[in-house]
Amino acid sequence: MVVKSTARRRKIAPGVPPPAGDDVAGLIARAQTFSPAPANPDLLAAMAGIAAGVCVYTATGVVTLANRRFLEAFGLTDDLVIQGATWPEMMADLPVTNTGLALEALTRLTCPGRTEQTLADGRTLCITRSPVEGGGWVDTVGDITDERSTLAAAAYRARHDALTGLPNRTVLMERMQEALRLAQRGELSAALCLDLDRFKAVNDRLGHAIGDKVLEAVGERLRNQLRGTDTAARLGGDEFAMIQGRIRSPREAQTIAQRIVADLSRPYQIGAHEIRIGASVGIEMIDGSELNPANILRNADLALYRAKSAGGGDVTFYEPAMQMRLDERHRLEAQLREAIRDDSLILHYQPQVDLRSGQILGFEALVRWQHPTRGLLEPVEFIHVAEEIGVIRQLGVRVLDLACLEAAGWSRPVSVSVNMSSSQFADDGIVYDVASALQRSGLTPARLILEVTESILTSNSPAALALLGRLKALGVRISLDNLGVGPSFVSYAPRDVFDIVKIDQSILAMSSGKPGGMDLIEAYAAFCQTLGMSPTIGGVESLAQLARLEPGGCEVGQGFAFARPVPANDVHQLLDSATRL
Instruction: Please compute, for residue 113, the number of CA atoms within 13 A of its CA located in the half-sphere on the CB side.
Output: 10
Q: Who's near 295: CB < 8 A, 6+ residues apart? A: none
Nearest-angstrom CA–CA distance, 441 and 407: 9
Residue 500 pLDDT > 50, yes or no? yes
Give residue 225's Cα distance to chain centre: 22
- pLDDT digits 0-9 by tens, 34-50: 344 444 555 555 566 57
The H or E element spanning position 231 is strand 230-236
The alpha carbon of residue 551 and the mean position of all alpha carbons in its chain are separated, in whole angstroms, by 53
Output the pLDDT for position 493: 53
| Residue 203 clears pLDDT 70, i.e. is over it | yes
Nearest-angstrom CA–CA distance, 309 and 383: 15
What phi and psi values does residue 187 have, to the nearest 5 degrees?
A: -95, 135
Higher pLDDT among residues 338 and 22, named by residue: 338
- Range with the poorest average pLDDT among 83-87, 236-240, 279-283, 435-439: 83-87
pLDDT-derived band at 30, boundaries 50, 70, 90:
very low
Q: What is the pTM of this model?
A: 0.55
Angle at 154 between CA 153 and CA 157, to 5 degrees: 85
3-state secondary structure of 84: coil
Provide the residue type at 291 as one letter. Answer: L
Whether the Cβ atoms of residue 446 and residue 475 lie closer than 8 Å to each other: yes
> ∠ CA 312-492-399 to the nearest 5 degrees?
65
**Could you tell me which residue, 466 or 438, shows the higher pLDDT?**
438
Least confident of 117-131, 190-204, 224-238, 304-318: 117-131
Binning pLDDT at 50, 70 and 90, where does residue 361 land? very high
Separation CA 180–CA 9 (nearest Å): 63
